[in-house]
Amino acid sequence: MATIFAESGTDATQDLTFVTSTTGSVASATDQSRTGPRSIKMSTGAGPTAGVMNFNSVLADAGRRISFGIMFTGLPSSTTNIAPLNDTSNLAIMLLQLNSSGNLVNTPTGATAATGSAVLAINTWYRITISYYVTNTTTFQFKVYIDGVLDSTTNAGTLTRTGTDRLRMRAGTEFGASQNVWYDDIYIDDGASSASQTDPGTTNANSLRVT
């Protein structure tokens, strides 16, 4: 198993050096953190305007385990994308979504979605994992964990596309005006495969970087 990417929430750099690109309000912040002194904060502002950050060339269909901390100040008015897994054209292969009741929705694009049973509360840190592989449009599996506990699994139906490459993280307009979403301890490894899609456990990303 190899570590593919890790971002400690800007603890080491105090900036967005390891983020490929951003739109909207995305910044290194000290007002909240899951571990260490900092996290990455997205603010919707008065608009509201979505905050978005992209990490390119960190995913692959052979299998990835993506773990990150998240906290938000309010629930969205309707289902919003928080962590899409995209191809090189930024078209989604899988959408990790949050609905208005606080459930995570595991949505493989074009295939059968699953809504988790756990209810996430505002102003609370959670560690989320997406563990997956994709062989082709009909042979795939996406598992979503919350704090190490399996919340949903999807493997039925036909994907619209394959070719995961980019991780996108968002604070969508569905959260409403003047809302904040923080991300921390972003970690990706190649520990998932067609044989196993486990949770990587609590990971301290502070000293790890792109390999």
CA dist., res. 110 & res. 133, Å (int): 16
pLDDT tens digits, one per residue of 85-117: 999 999 999 999 999 999 999 999 999 999 999
> Where does 49-177 have alpha helices with state H?
none
Q: Find the range with the poorest average confidence among 11-15, 35-39, 47-51, 201-205.
A: 201-205
Supply the pTM of this predicted model.
0.95
* 126-136/21-23 β-pairing: unpaired
* Stretch 188-193: mean pLDDT: 96
pLDDT tens digits, one per residue of 16-32: 999 999 999 999 999 99
Per 3-state DSSP, the chain is made up of helix, strand and coil in percentages (nearest 5) of 0, 45, 55
Contact by Cβ (8 Å): 85, 132: yes
At 70, list the tokens: 């998240």
* Strand-pair partners of 96: 83, 106
* Strand-pair partners of 41: 27, 182
Model confidence at 210: pLDDT above 90: no
pLDDT band at 1 (very low <50, low <70, confident <90, very high): confident
Report pLDDT for 204. Answer: 57
Q: What are the Cα distances from residue 151, in Å, to 100, 143, 176, 204? A: 17, 8, 26, 22
Report the SS3 class of residue 83. strand
pLDDT tens digits, one per residue of 141-155: 999 999 999 999 999
At 85, list the tokens: 């897994």
Place of tokens 């390119």: 56
Model confidence at 196: pLDDT above 90: yes
* Stretch 148-163: mean pLDDT: 98
Nearest to 57 by CA among 204, 168, 137, 170: 168
Q: How many CB atoms neighbour CB 137 within 10 A? A: 16
Percentage of the chain exceeding pLDDT 70: 96
